[in-house]
Amino acid sequence: MASPQHPSIGQVWAWLDAVPDPEIPVISLVDLGVIREVRWEADELVVAVTPTYSGCPATSVINLDIETALRDRGVGKVRLERRLAPPWTTDWLSESGRAKLEAYGIAPPQPAGGPSRCPHCGAASVSLVSQFGSTPCKAQWRCDACLEPFDYFKCI
C-alpha cells in the first residue's frame, strides 16, 4: 500500500520495467516475466523474482540490478524473494517483449519449438544451425532466403 513514505506499487512496476535483462538488454525484466510480484510489507518492499532456470548465470546480476534501480529511487528497504514455483516459462514473456526481441533480431519462442520466420527479412524458410546459441536459452538459426544467422529464444 502506498504511503507518504513510499511509492505506489504501480510506480515500482514502472521503475522495474525500465531495468533491462543483462543478457538481452532490449527487453526489461518485466517483459521477460521474471518479476512475479511486488508488495509492501510495512516499510519493506518485497519483490518476488523467478529465475529463467535454476543455473542461470545472470541471476545474481538481475538481483543486483533490481536492488540498485529501487535504491537509486529512494527505496531504503528491499527484499528479494526467489520464487522457484511455478518455474519460469517463455509463456511469461510479454507481447511487448516478444516484439522487442524480434525487432532486435532474435526470433521469439514459438510453441512448435522453432522460429516461424526470419526476424530480419520475414521469410518462413529457416534452418537450425546449432541447438546451442550465445546463451543457454537461445539456439542458432539461419534464414534460407537472406542467409543471415539469428538467435532463436527457445521455448522453456
pLDDT tens track for 80-132: 999 999 999 999 999 999 999 999 999 999 987 799 999 999 999 999 999 98
- How far are the Cα atoms of 7, 54, 63, 77 from residue 42, in angstroms, in the given order? 13, 30, 21, 10
pTM here is 0.86
Q: What angle do CA 87, 63, 80 make, to 5 degrees?
A: 75
pLDDT for the residue 4: 57
Where in the chain do CATH 3.30.300.130 domains reside? 9-90
Q: According to the CATH classification, is domain 9-90 in 3.30.300.130?
A: yes
Per the DSSP assignment, residues forming a β-bridge with 126 are 143
